[in-house]
Amino acid sequence: MSAIVEELYSATKGETYSFRQLLEVVNEKNRKLEYTNVLSASQELGMIKRSDINIDIKFEQDSICGYKIVRNGDYVVHLRSFQGGFAFSDKTGICSPAYTILRPNDLVVYGYLSHFFTSRLFIKSLKLVTYGIRDGRSINVDEWLNMTVILPTIQEQLHIIEIINSISSKLYNETRIYDSLLRQKSYLLKAMFI
């Protein structure tokens, strides 16, 4: 899948934009306590509910007024972005104020950059704007926003998303079939030796 994603994004033709022309850094705080569902960044799944992580992170309920609001369609620069890329949020909620929230404009189709921002090619490009050593590394978002990307037409973006979603769906179905066959094999082997 990663090879296909890289091929699709590297073969695109279109106009060159800086990330600053496509994404806005937003710092919308949860001051009115509109949201209580805390989201965390996952390298494989994007933004997920903190309650879905098997780590019990304690926080004061009163402190969530300082948390940032993440909206459906936003991208999040999290603390481990230099390893796994930027997280895509397909839900609205709040997250740690340590995260940087990027909101795309109308030139970018919903979710188009989600696979690109987790590709090896993109993560490798982050080395140019990553500072520090080991776990103390951080991305200079202001410098990164000046980097450029080729953005295809809206129709081409939709086509690329359609291809990736079809492949993802196929992989998901094949994995479910494989798991079912393993369970069936296990059952038959147990039944054979009873």
- The residues, any chain, with a CB within 8 Å of residue 173's CB and separated by 6 or more, are none
Residue range 126-185, pLDDT digits in tens: 888 888 766 667 888 999 999 999 999 999 999 999 999 999 899 989 999 999 999 999
Beta carbons of 15 and 151 less than 8 angstroms apart: yes
Q: Taking each helix axis as running N to C, give the angle between helix 2-10 and helix 154-192, from 0 to 180 degrees, rounded to the nearest 10.
A: 170
Is the pTM value of this prediction over 0.85? no
DSSP state of 89: -
Residue 81 phi, psi (nearest 5) = -60, -30
Residue range 53-108, pLDDT digits in tens: 765 566 666 678 889 999 999 999 987 788 888 999 999 999 989 899 999 999 99
Can you tell me which residue has the tokens 């479910």? 176
